Every structure is written in structure tokens, then in C-alpha cells.
């Protein structure tokens, strides 16, 4: 059985404050989260499309406690026709 708790990711801003949650969805490090969480982590206004640019800090509290890693957004899918998140 897969331990889903191990895939929980805290998304941090530049001050290492938690701004949202994500989920590890592949073994090679792909994380799914909401676009507004990535924007908050990067200090950007909401609804900034296309893909927000910059390094996002990630904390895997149940997989690697105390170890902060970084990653970049690679895909952004608006969830409404008016392109708002």
C-alpha cells in the first residue's frame, strides 16, 4: 500500500512561511498544487499567467523532515474560462 502522507508538500515563501500545500505525484519529484499557491510563494499577484517564473521552496515534512528543496513551475492550467485561478 502507498503511504499517501509521505507525498504531502508544504509550499513556502521566501521567508520560509507556509503559503500552501501540494502533493508529490510522481517518483521523480513532480508536485501538484494550485497556481495561487505558487504565486504566493514567489510574492506575485494572483492571476499572473503564463507560468510564474522562479524557484519555489518545498518542504516534505513526512518524507524528509527539515530538508528544504526547490523546484520551478513547469505547467499552469487556468481553471476558469476567464483565465482566473
Question: For the residues 38-61, what does the mean pLDDT come to?
Answer: 83
pLDDT at 1 over 80: no
Residue bearing the bigger pLDDT, 47 or 63: 63
* pLDDT score at 10: 96
Q: Where are the domains of the chain?
A: 4-72
Residue bearing the bigger pLDDT, 18 or 30: 18
- Torsion sign (Cα): 73, 68, 3, 42: negative
Beta carbons within 8 Å of 35's beta carbon, 6+ residues apart: 49, 52, 76, 77, 78, 85
pTM: 0.79
β-strand partners of 32: 23
Torsions phi, psi of 9, nearest 5?
-125, 135
Amino acid at each position: 500500500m502507498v503511504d499517501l502522507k509521505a507525498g504531502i508538500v508544504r509550499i513556502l515563501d521566501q521567508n520560509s512561511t507556509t503559503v500552501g500545500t501540494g502533493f508529490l505525484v510522481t517518483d521523480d519529484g513532480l508536485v501538484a498544487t494550485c497556481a495561487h499557491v505558487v504565486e504566493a510563494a514567489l510574492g506575485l499577484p494572483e492571476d499572473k499567467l503564463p507560468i510564474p517564473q522562479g524557484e519555489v521552496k518545498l518542504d516534505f515534512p513526512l518524507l524528509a523532515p527539515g530538508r528544504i528543496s526547490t523546484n520551478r513551475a513547469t505547467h499552469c492550467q487556468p481553471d476558469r474560462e476567464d483565465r482566473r485561478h
